[in-house]
């Protein structure tokens, strides 16, 4: 059933879903469709909806998606969730990979009593705010790893791959975009990098509007670090292309959200060769039995691998529907109670949320038996898993010739 809503200054993406019987489960989608990590949200959700509907739905109820493009605007996203709640009458919302947008939606999810999950925003403030005002903000869930957990994962991988390896790296420069999600990320880097053996020589926070990274790279080269630890999402193509074109002799390692999709190779004309980045899942590694089948379905339908947020959105459609099944209701408070009890094997791992008494209320649990993610390196146009050892196999780090290593 195709659903189209006309909204001034707010484009609507109608997602085709099989005709639903009476009283479908309606899920709203709010995303940044012009971005790699944004368009993966409705794409991933669509595959989940199609699969559920092909099997008869949930308790005989089909999944119906209603999607809005927020144009990377928090104001447009707020207008979208208002319309989804009051006009489209959705039962839940999956929204955004941008922390500023998720933080703007959070109080509205509370006011509207709308169960809302972000599949890609990372700021720790999302869960901290829920903890501080649980009664009002309990309707919001953090369906992606919080920035502090991403920092921990990066340091764990750096210790194994860069420090306790043949490279024996000893120093790093942090290079992050100035955004809500990188504030706790960088704080985590500053704390954990020295603990794993990497002295932080400098900490650079660049404007998301930066177009020329030459002065930044020149400054970093002057510090002579062994590695650049990255925290970039909205500015991914330009710093990667300039890093390769200018042959910056220092490897990049960390978080690079745009590089999580296979389209990034084409977008950078191969300049991403050698970049090392964190992923919650990758198409070549069966993190769970669901990972590879979903990735293959995504590639078949859209021609590219899913960005990290696509895995999240796919899983979220499933465990929202499961929560409604377990609650036996679409009552928002009953749904919240059911979502809090989520213990769902998704594409990214075993998904559970921290409870109301944890400072990270409704944040997705991070760890070996929950969601831990992995690291890949771009090699010859492919994302090659290189950490942890259990997924790396015989794969090893391979850097472009211009990168000067200390080993």
Q: What is each CA distance from 192 to 153, 159, 173, 273, 275, in whole angstroms?
A: 10, 10, 13, 27, 21
pLDDT of residue 22: 56
What CATH architecture does domain 148-279+373-392 belong to? 3-Layer(aba) Sandwich (3.40)
* Rounded Cα gap, residues 142 and 371, in angstroms: 13
pLDDT of residue 19: 40
pLDDT of residue 237: 84
Instruction: Convert the pLDDT of each residue in 313-331 to its tens digit.
Output: 999 999 999 999 999 999 9
Domain 12-145+287-351: give its CATH code.
Answer: 3.40.50.2300
- The number of beta carbons lying within 10 Å of the beta carbon of residue 137 is 21
pLDDT of residue 4: 36
Read off the pLDDT band of 7 (50, 70, 90): very low
Strand 171-177 and strand 199-206: pairing?
parallel
What average pLDDT does this structure show over 285-306? 96
Residue 157 in 3-state DSSP? Answer: helix
Instruction: Convert the pLDDT of each residue in 124-171 to its tens digit.
Output: 999 999 999 999 999 999 999 999 999 999 999 999 999 999 999 999
> Domain residue spans in the chain?
12-145+287-351, 148-279+373-392
Q: What are the strands, taking DSSP E only, across 323-396?
A: 344-345, 350-351, 374-379, 382-387
Same fold, 12-145+287-351 and 148-279+373-392: yes
Q: Do residues 400 and 298 lie in contact, with contact meaning Cβ atoms separated by under 8 Å? A: no
With CA atoms as reference, report the closest residue to 114 among 277, 328, 332, 276. 332
* Rounded Cα gap, residues 379 and 259, in angstroms: 12
Residue 375 confidence (pLDDT) above 60: yes
Tokens of 184: 């706790």
pLDDT of residue 17: 47
Residue 90 confidence (pLDDT) above 70: yes
User: How much is the mean pLDDT over the chain?
Assistant: 92
Residue 21 confidence (pLDDT) above 50: no
* Rounded Cα gap, residues 177 and 134, in angstroms: 30
Got the DSSP string for 275-289?
-EEEES--TTS-SST
pLDDT of residue 407: 54
Phi, psi of 272 (to 5 degrees): -75, -5
Read off the pLDDT band of 14 (50, 70, 90): very low
Strand partners, 363: 142
pLDDT of residue 11: 47
Q: What are the strands, taking DSSP E only, across 32-137?
A: 63-69, 92-95, 116-118
With CA atoms as reference, report the closest residue to 1 among 44, 57, 41, 40. 57
Residue 18 confidence (pLDDT) above 60: no
Element (H, E) at 204: strand 199-206
Residue 236 confidence (pLDDT) above 80: no
Comparing 197 with 36, which gets the higher pLDDT?
Answer: 197
Residue ranges in 164-227 assigned as alpha helix (H): 182-195, 214-223
What average pLDDT does this structure show over 91-99? 96
What average pLDDT does this structure show over 4-15? 43
What average pLDDT does this structure show over 52-73? 96
pLDDT of residue 8: 39
The verdict on whether omega for the bond into residue 199 sits within 30 degrees of 0, i.e. cis, is: no
Lowest mean pLDDT among 143-152, 230-239, 336-345, 360-369: 230-239
- The number of beta carbons lying within 10 Å of the beta carbon of residue 404 is 12
With CA atoms as reference, report the closest residue to 163 among 187, 133, 196. 196
pLDDT of residue 234: 79
Residue 257 confidence (pLDDT) above 90: no
* Rounded Cα gap, residues 228 and 218, in angstroms: 13
With CA atoms as reference, report the closest residue to 88 among 41, 29, 48. 29
* Rounded Cα gap, residues 131 and 143, in angstroms: 15
């Amino acid at each position: 059933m195709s659903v189209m809503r006309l909204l001034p200054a707010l484009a609507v993406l109608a997602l085709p879903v099989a005709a639903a019987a009476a009283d479908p489960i309606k899920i709203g989608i709010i995303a940044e469709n012009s971005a790699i990590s944004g368009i993966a949200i409705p794409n991933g959700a669509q595959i989940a909806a199609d699969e559920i509907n092909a099997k008869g739905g949930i308790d005989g109820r089909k999944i119906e998606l209603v999607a809005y493009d927020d144009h990377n605007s928090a104001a447009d996203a707020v207008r979208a969730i208002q319309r989804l709640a009051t006009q489209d009458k959705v039962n839940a919302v999956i929204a955004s990979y941008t922390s500023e947008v998720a933080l703007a939606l959070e109080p509205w999810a509370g006011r509207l009593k709308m169960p809302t999950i972000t599949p890609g925003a990372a700021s720790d403030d999302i869960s901290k705010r829920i903890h501080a005002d649980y009664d009002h903000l309990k309707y919001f869930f953090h369906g992606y790893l919080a920035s502090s957990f991403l920092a921990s994962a990066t340091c764990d991988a750096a210790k194994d791959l860069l420090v306790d390896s043949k490279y024996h790296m000893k120093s790093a420069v942090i290079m992050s975009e100035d955004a809500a999600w990188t504030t706790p990320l960088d704080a985590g880097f500053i704390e954990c990098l020295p603990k794993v053996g990497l002295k932080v020589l400098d900490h650079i926070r660049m404007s998301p509007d930066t177009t020329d990274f030459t002065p930044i790279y020149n400054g970093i080269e002057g510090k002579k670090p062994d590695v650049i630890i990255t925290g970039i999402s909205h500015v991914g193509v330009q710093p990667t292309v300039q890093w390769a074109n200018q042959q910056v002799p220092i490897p990049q390692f960390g978080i690079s959200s745009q590089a999580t999709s296979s389209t990034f190779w084409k977008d950078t004309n191969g300049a991403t060769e050698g970049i090392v980045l964190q992923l919650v899942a990758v198409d070549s590694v069966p993190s769970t039995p669901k990972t590879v089948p979903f990735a293959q379905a995504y590639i078949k339908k859209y021609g590219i691998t899913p960005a990290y947020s696509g895995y999240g959105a796919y899983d979220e459609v499933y465990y929202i529907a499961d929560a409604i099944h377990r609650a036996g209701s679409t009552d928002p408070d009953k749904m919240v109670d059911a979502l809090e009890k989520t213990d769902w094997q998704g594409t990214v791992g075993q998904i559970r949320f921290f409870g109301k008494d944890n400072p990270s209320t409704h944040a997705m649990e991070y760890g070996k038996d929950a969601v831990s993610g992995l690291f890949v390196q771009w090699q010859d146009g492919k994302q090659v898993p290189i950490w942890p050892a259990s997924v790396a196999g015989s794969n090893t780090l391979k850097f472009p010739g211009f990168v000067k290593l200390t080993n």
